[in-house]
Homo-oligomer: A and B are copies of this chain.
Amino acid sequence: MTVPVRPLAHGRAATRADVARYAGVSTAVVSYVVNEGPRRVSPGTAARVRAAVQALDYSPNVAARTLRLGSSEMLGLVVPDITNPFFAELAQAVEGAAAERGFLVTLGSSGSRVDLERELVTDLAGRNVDGLLVSTVLMPEALAALPAPRRPTVLINVSTPFAGYAAVGSDSRRGAYDLVEHLLGTHGHTSVALVIGESTERLPEPRERGFADAFAAHGLPPGPVVRTDFSRTGGYEATRQVLAWRHRPDAIFLSSDQQASGAYRAVREAGLECPDDIALVAYDGTTQSEFTWPPLTSSRQQIDLMARTALSAVLDPANAPAHQHLPTELVVRRSCGCSLP
């Protein structure tokens, strides 16, 4: 199945022993120089070692180091779908935050498939990663079915804690509330539909609760809910469905930017205009939301903060709170009906 890769053609790569021999020192000294510690080395010797390193084009074998140290300075990140801009931005942020601390990250994108995700997590966990960040669509059961994590594992982008894991996520209930309240309060809409991904999180989904909360605050019964998946196609299909209702709502709240992308298409295909015929708002607030037309009013997740928070949690599991809620930010653009300069 797998293809072993031979070392370079011109012979095996130089090892620490080669360098030591070349520089006329012991292997320990080479270590001290290469790692700048833990013992100090006289300047002259250090220079000879560096020259040898150069001459032999030596670079340390990470597997050996990992084996010895028990740490690989690698983190694993599992997301359901890297082509979803939210996860792409999250991956970018995690990678950046990890790099700042000297860690590399191995990414797995499961395509939202449960079995693949399980495999990914198990595999990654076995790969000497020092910690795991998992953003999964398959919360409770699948997670419980996993072998106990051998490494600090934090659940990222979840709104409810899960036994045995540290978790960080946005306060999506509040984010949803803000959006719907804006529609109901500022714009005086009375009928707003919710299009939401088929969640495997503990129900009711927080966005759905925020949605209902906003209606309650206005003394209204909650609007209709359409469940689909968290993709463009999901948003597209669901919106088509909503537009076909006898009484078209004033607005649709999409649970992700990705779904909103599909919603726009459905609206245009129906020959309708946003926001005149129907307002659209969405949860996520990735860069994509600035480039739709009209620009998308959204509750923006603080992706950088989420990445940093999650990173601190894996790297210092002892002090990681069971669950951290990050605030979202309401970004009003034009798709809700507001007319901005």
Interface residues of A, Cβ cutoff 8 Å to B: 1-5, 7-8, 13, 57, 59-64, 66-67, 69-74, 81-83, 85, 88-89, 91-92, 95-96, 99, 101-109, 111, 116, 123-124, 126-128, 130-131, 147-148, 150-152, 232, 236, 261-262, 264-265, 268, 287-288, 290-291, 293-295, 315-316
Contacts and interface: CB of A to CB of B under 8 A. Distances in A.
Contacts of A105: 106-107
Contacts of A96: 111
A150 to B, nearest CB: 6
Given A57-B147, A62-B126, A82-B82, 18 more contacts: A2-B101, A2-B102, A4-B130, A5-B130, A5-B152, A59-B126, A59-B150, A61-B67, A61-B128, A63-B63, A83-B89, A88-B88, A91-B109, A99-B116, A104-B108, A236-B291, A262-B291, A265-B291
A274 to B, nearest CB: 10
B293 A268 contact: yes
Contacts of A67: 61, 63-64, 67
A164 to B, nearest CB: 12
A92 B73 contact: no
A103 B291 CA distance: 36
Contact of A83 (B62, B88, B262, B268): B88
B131 A5 contact: yes
A62 B5 contact: no
Contact of A92 (B69, B99, B104, B109): B109
